[in-house]
């Protein structure tokens, strides 16, 4: 007769096989079954912590690593996993404490030493930024004289005058595909033009799909430029009649984030009334510093001002879009309070609070996730919260909605319909970070307001790894 301990080990081995195949959800399921059979084995928790890190369930990873440390205070993997997870959710001081313990127990670990040094830099940088923080910082556009900025005669790309054109966009796409960049003057022009456009839009844009029109809703693209081009190839380019809504997380992780942001911004400038952008949790300063966008701006355009202007434009983006009074589209999800309504979103002054912080409506709109259980629960990410089907039902009924459409999470099929059809997740970055085997998806909506889901596969891209411009300490998580 096989003992429960032997069964647990067998489940762990199954989990290890799933992990090798990059099937992180199956790995978590197997490790969970192993823990149910034997909850005293440290390796089950550290293995599940690593699988949760791959799934970006950093809060769960911290919990697993902490349990492993409780079972064995000398377990180096527990401290290591917890440090990585805390770094990922920007709890750098907590991570630093664990890196110190890892190095004390294993002083020869060169990777841990590198991560400790990087984490220490981030803690000191954050303290410095907090010390010099002012309530209303001056704009990075101050003193920027675009008229005096010359484009060299030997610049071999299309010229951008005072208005965006389709020809410029087509030329820009070809330049990007060939590994080239556009002139820095044009980057400034595009970002400043879009910043002004989106600043004037309401916090919740309200739009309709009329006869002769269609709308495509896309989820996270995360700097996966070649997959973004695949969406337009399969589904058609944006136009006045073919509207698009990109639901946040355009940048970070993928190593073509500037290309993605500039292409989306160029379409927004060309079609301001039919191309829409919602802010995601990665259109924020702290995430951009950690996950690569700030570093990419510096590496590709050799100027701090490029990132600073993007940052200002991100903070001006709307937080939600209401489609035909039937679907609320926002990046994260619903709220900690059942009394929150569409009117509360309309009234939210996003310009007063540039960054989402750790609490409040803006944070919840960018960070929360659905759960299968009723009610509300602690966030698996370690930031925000989770909301159940009853929460979604009450919100939709109170506000006369068919469903909430959100993004923010990988779905293996590219999308998932949950909460009795009232909560839809769409994710548009296939083979996410080159480490998952997920499809991408987008949603087409016509004047009948039916949701038509389209899946697509990842396409090849040049051999540049994800997070090429991100914090070195996060590279081992990819």
Catalytic residues: 282
Q: Are 288 and 307 in contact (CB under 8 A)?
A: yes
DSSP lists the bridge partners of residue 426 as 415
**Listed residue (218, 262, 209) closest to 240, CA to CA:** 209
- Spatial CB neighbours of 207, under 8 Å, sequence gap ≥ 6: 215, 243, 276, 321, 322, 323, 324
For residue 123, the SS3 value is helix
**Listed residue (264, 27, 21, 301) closest to 140, CA to CA:** 301
Place of tokens 């192993």: 34
Q: How far apart are the first and last CA of the chain?
A: 41
**Cα-trace Rg, the chain:** 23
Q: Are 49 and 76 in contact (CB under 8 A)?
A: no
For residue 341, the SS3 value is coil
Please give the full DSSP string across 78-99, using - where no structure is assigned: HHHHHHHHHHHTT-HHHHHHHH
Q: Pseudo-torsion of CA 56, 392, 395, 272, nearest 10°?
A: 50
On the CB side of 85, CA atoms within 13 Å amount to 30
Six token digits for residue 21: 């195949």
User: Directed axis angle between helix 110-132 and helix 76-88, to 10°?
Assistant: 30
Residue spans of alpha helices (H) in 91-200 = 92-105, 110-132, 166-177, 184-199
Write down how long the chain is. 478
Place of tokens 């990665």: 282
Q: What is the DSSP secondary structure assignment for residue 214, as one 8-state letter?
A: E
């Amino acid at each position: 007769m096989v003992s429960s301990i032997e069964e647990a080990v067998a489940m762990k081995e199954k989990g290890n096989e799933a992990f090798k195949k990059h099937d992180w959800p199956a790995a978590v399921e197997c490790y969970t079954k192993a823990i149910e059979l034997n909850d005293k084995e440290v390796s089950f928790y550290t293995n599940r912590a690593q699988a949760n890190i791959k799934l970006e369930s950093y809060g769960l990873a911290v919990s697993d690593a902490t349990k492993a440390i409780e079972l064995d205070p000398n377990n180096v993997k527990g401290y290591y996993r917890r440090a990585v997870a805390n770094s990922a959710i920007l709890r750098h001081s907590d991570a630093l404490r664990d890196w110190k313990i890892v190095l004390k127990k294993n002083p020869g670990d060169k990777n841990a030493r590198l991560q400790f040094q990087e984490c220490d830099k981030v803690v000191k940088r954050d303290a410095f930024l907090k010390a010099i923080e002012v309530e209303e910082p001056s704009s990075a556009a101050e003193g920027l004289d675009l008229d005096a900025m010359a484009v060299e005669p030997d610049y071999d790309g299309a010229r951008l005058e005072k208005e965006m054109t389709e020809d410029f966009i087509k030329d820009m796409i070809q330049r990007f595909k060939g590994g080239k960049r556009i002139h820095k003057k044009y980057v400034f022009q595009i970002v400043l033009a879009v910043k002004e456009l989106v600043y004037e839009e309401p916090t919740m844009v309200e739009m309709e799909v009329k006869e002769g029109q269609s709308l495509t809703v896309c989820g996270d693209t995360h700097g996966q430029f070649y997959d973004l081009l695949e969406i337009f190839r399969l589904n058609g380019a944006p136009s006045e009649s073919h509207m698009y809504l990109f639901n946040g997380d355009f940048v970070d992780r993928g190593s073509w984030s500037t290309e993605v942001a500039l292409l989306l911004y160029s379409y927004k400038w060309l079609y301001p009334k039919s191309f829409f952008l919602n802010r995601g949790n990665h259109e924020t300063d702290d995430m951009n510093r950690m996950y690569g966008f700030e570093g990419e701006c510096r590496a590709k355009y050799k100027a701090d001002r490029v990132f600073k202007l993007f940052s200002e434009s991100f903070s001006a983006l709307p937080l939600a879009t209401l489609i035909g009074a039937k679907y609320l589209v926002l990046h994260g999800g619903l709220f900690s309070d059942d009394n929150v309504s569409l009117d509360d979103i309309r009234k939210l002054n996003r310009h007063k609070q540039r960054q989402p912080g750790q609490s409040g409506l803006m944070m919840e709109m960018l960070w929360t996730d659905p759960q299968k259980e009723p009610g509300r629960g602690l966030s698996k990410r370690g930031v925000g919260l989770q909301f159940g089907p009853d929460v979604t039902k009450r919100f939709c009924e109170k506000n006369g909605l068919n469903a909430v459409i959100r993004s923010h999470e990988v779905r293996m099929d590219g999308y998932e319909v949950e909460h009795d059809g009232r909560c839809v997740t769409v994710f548009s970055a296939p083979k996410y970070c080159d480490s998952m085997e997920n499809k991408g998806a987008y949603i087409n909506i016509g004047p009948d307001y039916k949701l038509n889901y389209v899946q697509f596969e990842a396409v090849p891209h040049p051999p540049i790894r994800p997070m090429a411009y991100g914090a070195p300490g996060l590279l081992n998580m990819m």
